Every structure is written in C-alpha cells, then in structure tokens.
Amino acid sequence: MKEKERLAFIKRYFPHFVIKEVKVNNRGWDNDLVIINNNLVFRFPKSEEVAAKVKTEGEILTAVKARNPLLVIPEFEYMHEDDKVKGVKYPLIEGKSLSEYAPNTITCHFENARLVGDFLTKLHSVEVAQLNSSMLTSLHNHSYWESFYKKVERQVFPFLKYKQQEQIAHLFERFLESYEDIPAKKVIIHGDLTTSNIIYNEQKGRISGIIDFTDAQIGDPAFDFAGIYWAYGPDFTKNVLSCYQSSEKTEAIFKRVSNFYGLQPVFHELLYALENQYNINWETALERFNCLYEFINAR
C-alpha cells in the first residue's frame, strides 16, 4: 500500500476525521507510520507476516496495561479490510525516539532506569496462558543463534581483519557452547527494546513510553536488556536491573547481557546495511563493539 492509498484508507475508515496535518515515517523495518494531526498514529505492517502478529501484540499490550506500568504503551484500535487486520490506530505518545538524543540525556537521571526497570518487570510477568493467540513462539533458540553466526561469518567476516574475526568467533562460540546451561525461565519479551522504540519527553526530561512490540516472543528475559546495554553501557544497565524484579539474580542476567546479548546488535545493523547495499565505514563500524568487548576482558 502506497502513501496515497494509506491516506485514502484512513479517510474511508474514519470519515469524520478532519485531517489538518500528515507526517509519514517509512523508515521502520516492519511497519510504516502515518501520523495525523500530530496526535494519532496509524501503523501499517509491511508484510503479511508482520500483520499476522498484530493481534498477539495487542493482547500483550492489554495484559501489560492491566499491570499499570509507569511508562505509556500503545492502545490499539484495529482497522480491518476483507476480514484481515490492515493496520492499527493509537494515540501518539508524547516525545521523540531516544535514538535522536545523546546517551547522557537519560543516563544522568536514575528515574529513567527506574521507569525501564518497572516496564520490563511488568512485561516479563505476563503469563503466556493469559493470551488467547497462539502466534507467540520462541524464536531465539540455539538454531537461530547458530544460523545467525554463520550469516555473520559469510557476509560480515570478508570485510574484517583477522583479529576482529577472532574476537567475534570467540563471542559466538562461547555463547553457543553455554546456551543449554542458561537457567532463566523463558518469558514474554519485547524483542526489540532499542533506542528507536523508547520515547523520550524532552519537556519532562524523562522517558515517556515504549512502542513497537512486533518482535515480541517467548525468550530469555536478559535479551530485553541488550539494546539498553548497547546504547548506554554497563553502568546504566546495572541501574535498570536494580529496579527490575525477577526470581533470577540480577548478576546472572547482567552476565548474559554483557557477555553476548548486549554486543550482538551491531551484527544485525551490519547485515541489514549489507543486504540493502548501504555504505559502511568499516574502519569505524566496530568501534562500539570493541569498547564493550574490552569490558568483558577487563573483569
């Protein structure tokens, strides 16, 4: 569906709307956004696979909402066409994506760590049995990570120096060898808790909401700290964990985050860039990875 078609669909579906302003965001991996009058978001899945997840996503949001999280999350109103979900509408969460701000914007205030810790506590406490949908699966299994590693070897390694290849190989192989020993109870995770999906309200000086639960799945709770660790490092991640409630010791969660989950986001970014033929500065591409990798060895 092209931009004009989406707008026409919105007008047909909500004929009473007076549309004064339209903003379009097509940069997302899974969804296109149309923002109307700077207060309503219309989200359209980019594929049938993503569209099939929308009902489950809405059920998760409802279950988390019932736990009264401190952060705002979307409240879906479904839009159908030919008995299929065409998209969703929800009120715009005030603020901008954290990806637009410098890291110290949130790390200098402990309140932001408390807000994220509260959100993850409540999300991870949702039981799968509470959901009616059967679409929720466990994607991040041993086979997934093994396949991902092979893809990195095949597509990324040719551009790297031998020492870099060696470090990355060690990272993946150590994780894969110890995967079966992970003691964590699998929970419902956000699956893509990166700066792009965390909303920051500059006027209030704090995080205001979490969006895009498209990648929600059953998985290791430690995975939801990966984006936080990658963007803000060990100290802020520890602050978030200090506000997170779980039956598992936070030290064990932090170890999995710092040893693997918090380092692997760079490979998703590099693979996406390669597959879409974006220019990559290979001299600087792994600077952040190298910094965080050194933290492991310094302990």
- The b/e string for 64-96 (b: 16+ C-beta within 10 A; e otherwise) is beeeebebbbbebeebeeeeebbbbbbebbbbe
DSSP state of 66: T
Q: Which of 59-73, 132-146, 208-222, 260-274 is the least confident region?
A: 132-146
Domain with CATH 3.30.200.20 in the chain: 17-91
For position 136, what pLDDT does the model report?
84
For position 5, what pLDDT does the model report?
86
- How many Å apart are CA 244 and CA 242, to the nearest integer? 6
Domain with CATH 3.90.1200.10 in the chain: 96-298
pLDDT in tens, 201-212: 999 999 999 999
DSSP state of 245: -
pLDDT in tens, 78-121: 999 888 889 999 999 999 999 999 988 999 899 999 999 999 99
Q: Class of 17-91 per CATH?
A: alpha beta
pLDDT in tens, 14-50: 999 888 999 998 877 788 899 999 999 999 998 888 8
Say which residue the tokens 């990559």 belong to: 280
* Cα 50 → chain centroid: 15
In CATH terms, 96-298 corresponds, of 3.40.50.460, 3.90.1200.10, 2.60.40.1120, 3.10.20.30, to 3.90.1200.10
Report the mean per-residue pLDDT for the chain: 92
- Flag whether pLDDT at 130 surpasses 90: no
pLDDT in tens, 179-194: 988 877 899 999 999 9
pLDDT in tens, 241-259: 999 999 999 999 999 999 9
